[in-house]
Amino acid sequence: MRAPVSRKLLAIALLGVPALAAAATPVKTGTAEASATALVAAASDLRFALDEVIAQFRRDTGATVQVTYGSSGNFARQIEQGAPFDLFLSADETYVEQLAQRGLTADRGAIYAIGHIVIYVPTGSPLTPDPQLHALAVRLAEGGLVRIAIANPAHAPYGRAAGQTLRNLGLWEAVQPRLVIGENVAQAAQFASSGNVDGAIIAHSLALAPALRERGSFALLPESLHEPLRQRMVLLSRASPAAVRLYGYLQSPSARAILARYGFTLPGN
């Protein structure tokens, strides 16, 4: 039987993760009602939306939550190795299904959102955002210098969707040498918003955040160009009471309203 990994060791391990890619958002409370902290592993496309949900959750319940953002594939591997998360919000439901098959979850969880991707272009870029990436295609055909950021397709669902989109538009071979790969979609967004690349294919939810909207523009990319980004959450086998409450809260009307405002399609809608 595998010995559980201590929360102290997890905290030490996370020190080496880039700040935006895996930033922890602690929410503290002194109420006796919250019997334990909910340790949450969340896909990085949730970086801004989930912060708002948790702030509201704290006001409504007084519970204690700590969130770490990163790529879904990396989190799944960490959970398999014993990382003591209570709740996992994946950007790809297959990672949750794999953990459930290994007996590491309370059940098979629930779909909480469908994600979407955009082409995001920082102010001053030679590109303009359009749904079929025509500007990028022209730039590549002309041999112009261009750099595009995407998340790592090997373990980031939004990176995989970006790769599928580029392939389906016939741009993959030409753009591949110009790609800048982020560890996750939040890092790819950071590359673009800072002006270090000419554009990025990122989560719609990140492009809608004020910090990015002030620095560039975007266009939604057709869902038909990539596999659906069905995002599933699940409680892990030894989830804390606070995590159980948060899991239920994420399915409440108030939480769903926040997710919808960040561009997610909600299950049942």
199 plus 248 within the same structural domain: no
33 plus 15 within the same structural domain: yes
| Percent of the chain predicted with pLDDT > 90 | 83
Candidate from 32-36, 47-51, 91-95, 216-220 with smallest mean pLDDT: 32-36
125 plus 183 within the same structural domain: yes
Q: How confident is the model at residue 23 (pLDDT cuts 50, 70, 90)?
A: very low
Burial (0-12, 13-18, 19+ Cβ within 10 Å), 85? buried
Give the angle 106-40-72 at the CA atoms, nearest 5°: 85
Half-sphere exposure of 252 (CA within 13 A, CB side): 14
155 plus 183 within the same structural domain: yes
Domain count within the chain: 2
The pLDDT of residue 162 is above 80: yes
24 plus 105 within the same structural domain: yes
Looking at residue 36, its pLDDT comes to 75
Candidate from 8-22, 30-44, 195-209, 252-266 with smallest mean pLDDT: 8-22
In whole angstroms, what separates CA 160 from the centre of its chain? 12
Helix (H) or strand (E) holding 235: strand 229-235
Looking at residue 251, its pLDDT comes to 97
Q: Is residue 124 part of a domain?
A: yes
Q: How far apart are CA 254 and CA 229, in angstroms?
A: 22
The pLDDT of residue 114 is above 60: yes
255 plus 203 within the same structural domain: no
- Say what the pTM is: 0.86
The arithmetic mean of pLDDT across residues 168-184, rounded, is: 97
Instruction: State whether the Cα torsion 251-257-263-267 is positive or negative.
Output: positive
Question: Which residues 6+ apart lie within 8 Å of 200 measured at CB?
Answer: 119, 120, 148, 149, 150, 188, 189, 191, 192
- Under 8 Å between Cβ of 42 and 67: yes
pLDDT digits (tens, 9 = 90+) for 64-96: 999 999 999 999 999 999 999 999 999 999 999
Q: How far apart are CA 40 and CA 25, in angstroms?
A: 10
Give the angle 163-134-125 at the CA atoms, nearest 5°: 85
Q: Can you read off the two tokens belonging to residue 135?
A: 């500007």
42 plus 138 within the same structural domain: no
The pLDDT of residue 27 is above 50: no
Straight-line distance from the first to the last Cα atom of the chain, in angstroms, rounded to the nearest whole number:
42
Place of tokens 């399609």: 265
98 plus 19 within the same structural domain: yes
Q: Is residue 193 part of a domain?
A: yes
150 plus 25 within the same structural domain: no
The residue segments making up the domain with residue 63 are 7-114+231-261
- Under 8 Å between Cβ of 236 and 88: yes
State the chain's mean pLDDT as an integer.
89
Q: How confident is the model at residue 50 (pLDDT cuts 50, 70, 90)?
A: very high
Question: Which residues 6+ apart lie within 8 Å of 130 measured at CB?
Answer: 119, 219
Alpha helices in the chain (DSSP H): 7-13, 49-61, 72-80, 93-101, 134-141, 157-168, 172-175, 185-193, 204-207, 210-213, 241-249, 253-261
Q: Is residue 122 part of a domain?
A: yes
Q: Is residue 207 part of a domain?
A: yes
Q: Is residue 266 part of a domain?
A: no
Q: What is the CATH number of the domain that holds 54?
A: 3.40.190.10
| Other CB atoms within 10 Å distance of the CB of residue 49 | 24
23 plus 148 within the same structural domain: no
64 has which bridge partners? Answer: 37
